[in-house]
Amino acid sequence: MHDLFYSRGVAVVGASSNPAKPGYKIIENMVTQGYSYGIFPVNPRLESVLGLRCYRSVLDIDDNVDLVVFVVPAPEVLRIVEEELSARKRTRGDVKGVVVIGGGFKEMGEEGAAKELHMKGELRSLGIRLIGPNCQGLINTETGLNTTFDMNIKPRRGGVSVITQSGALGNGILRMAATRGHFGIDKFISFGNMGDVDAAEAIDYLSGLQTTRVIAAYIEDVPDGRAFYESMRRAAGRKPVVILKPGRTRLGAQAALSHTGALAGEDLIWDAAIRQAGALRAYTLKEFYDAVRVLEKLPPLRGPNIAVLTVVGGPGTLCVDRIHSSRCLRMARLSDVSKERLRRILAPVANVGRPEGYVDMTGSVTEELHYEALKIVLEDGGVDGVIFLEEPPTYLSERWASEVVRAYSEQDPARAKPVVATVVAGDAVYDHIRILEEGGIPVFEHPEAAVDAIDKAAEYHLRTSCGGKRAAGGDLRHQIHAISRRSARASRAGG
């Protein structure tokens, strides 16, 4: 895995001079994102792509090529692997992995599955690892490696590594994170049909990386349930692992979908397995994405006590409501000293402590009070985290946001408490949101989403017995093994 993510030299077979084609986009991505090593377009009909010399064949490339990306049809991939890669491997011995972007393999039924099996066999005998087919491949923001296409977005470096069985879903996550400044990316792997490198191997690799602080995985099925479980367990001991797993099996398997009873049971086993491994399961894309945001951006929550500091009554009420019905959180008890300090600085109309842990500064608040009130709440020993809510007037939004960030960032890093914000304002105060996000405070549009995200983070940080769903009974290992066998059968059936 390391050799693939840190490939020195990438050949793109099926390079194109048409900006609408993946064979152009991939090269463009790596050029604009400053890939540190050689980029080698391969297409016998072109002289150059984006100013780079274009090669007739991978055999003609004199420099080191660790990775070959295929953006040609399936039969062409097979031919090139058999004729050219094997020759290159014999003579230069440098190619360590291939990314096969296109489909036309297992997902197409029996004939495609045979092609895929054949390709896998050839590559294995050459000692070359396979990503895909039918995928977006790899990103490593450390080296600028990026085999995805259609993005037109440069992911910022950061602590999230994404593993995805759906290239489109992974792409969507990259786009949301990049355009909203929600989090940065360390590694990204979209492996489509998982012909060779699979989720378990990817999780194992990422769990050992210092630069990966959170592992986010979208999984539809796994070839080996036990190996996947063990990889989750090992990784979750070191860092948060968030899993988005659709509740039912792959859409392709129509027959399976009609057996919802069996599938619902299987889903409970997934539930139990993820929980027992110490990983976090998300049930919707929003829950998945929001949990990842909070886990990457914020210091750990050290206890369940949340203070709500608000400028707005209605959203504040909805927030307290959601905390009451959350699994892991409760309203903090502010000390009498803190309450007294808050009452002294805030306007008489402000509400300090009704209910406990709730402070409504009301619309009469000033920018100085933003700073001072958040300081007081963060310094209270009974508070483990803060949810801050406001809807600033346009002309005050930047100044208010800066004061919130100032109070947040003046915390002692070793004992810092997380703060999340809620701003119900659409795109009306974009700069306010940007300042908070850049200052390390995740901003949510709805109060309930802020609570849900920090609740999910609490599930990890508090190693929690928050009272979630109970694990399914029975021998878990046995059940996981059964899933794995069923999955394998479905795969063989072309599902």
Give the residue with the Cβ less far from its own copies, 147 or 207: 147
Contact criterion met (CB below 8 Å) for 99 and 167: no
Give the residue with the Cβ less far from its own copies, 128 or 377: 377
Give the residue with the Cβ less far from its own copies, 90 or 354: 354
- The structure tokens listed for 428 are 């009306």
Q: Is 285 exposed, middle or buried (0-12, 13-18, 19+ CB in 10 A)?
A: middle
Q: Rule CB under 8 A: which of 58-97 touch its own copies?
A: none
Cα(151)–Cα(351) distance, integer angstroms: 47
Q: Rule CB under 8 A: which of 177-196 touch its own copies?
A: 177-180
- Helix, strand, or coil here: 284? coil
If binding is defined by CB under 8 A, does position 222 make contact with its own copies? no
If binding is defined by CB under 8 A, does position 254 make contact with its own copies? yes
Cα(470)–Cα(153) distance, integer angstroms: 41
Q: Rule CB under 8 A: which of 446-485 touch its own copies?
A: 446-449
List the alpha helices (DSSP H) in 237-284: 254-258, 260-276
For the CB of residue 151, give the shortest distance to its own copies in the complex, in Å.
Answer: 8
Task: Write the binding mask 12 to 51 for its own copies: x where contact by CB under 8 A, - elsewhere.
Answer: -------xx----x--------------------------
Q: Which range binds its own copies by CB under 8 A, 138-146, 294-302, 424-432, 463-471?
A: 424-432
Closest CA to 200 of 184, 215, 185: 215
Task: Write the binding mask 146 to 165 for its own copies: x where contact by CB under 8 A, - elsewhere.
Answer: ---xx-xx----------xx
Contact residue for its own copies among 184, 223, 252, 303 (CB under 8 A): 252
Residues making up the chain, counted from first to last: 495
For the CB of residue 220, give the shortest distance to its own copies in the complex, in Å.
Answer: 7
Task: Note the Cα 260 to chain centre separation in Å.
Answer: 29
Q: Rule CB under 8 A: which of 280-309 touch its own copies?
A: 284-286, 289
Cα(294)–Cα(306) distance, integer angstroms: 15
Cα(145)–Cα(49) distance, integer angstroms: 18
If binding is defined by CB under 8 A, does position 133 make contact with its own copies? no
For the CB of residue 90, give the shortest distance to its own copies in the complex, in Å.
Answer: 34
If binding is defined by CB under 8 A, does position 237 make contact with its own copies? no
Contact criterion met (CB below 8 Å) for 23 and 15: yes
Which residues, including other chains, have CB under 8 Å from residue 82's CB and lie 6 or more apart?
Answer: 122
First to last CA, the chain: 27
For the CB of residue 8, give the shortest distance to its own copies in the complex, in Å.
Answer: 29
How many binding residues for its own copies (CB under 8 A)? Answer: 84
Q: Rule CB under 8 A: which of 305-364 touch its own copies?
A: 311-318, 320-322, 324-325, 348-349, 351, 353-356, 358, 360, 362-363
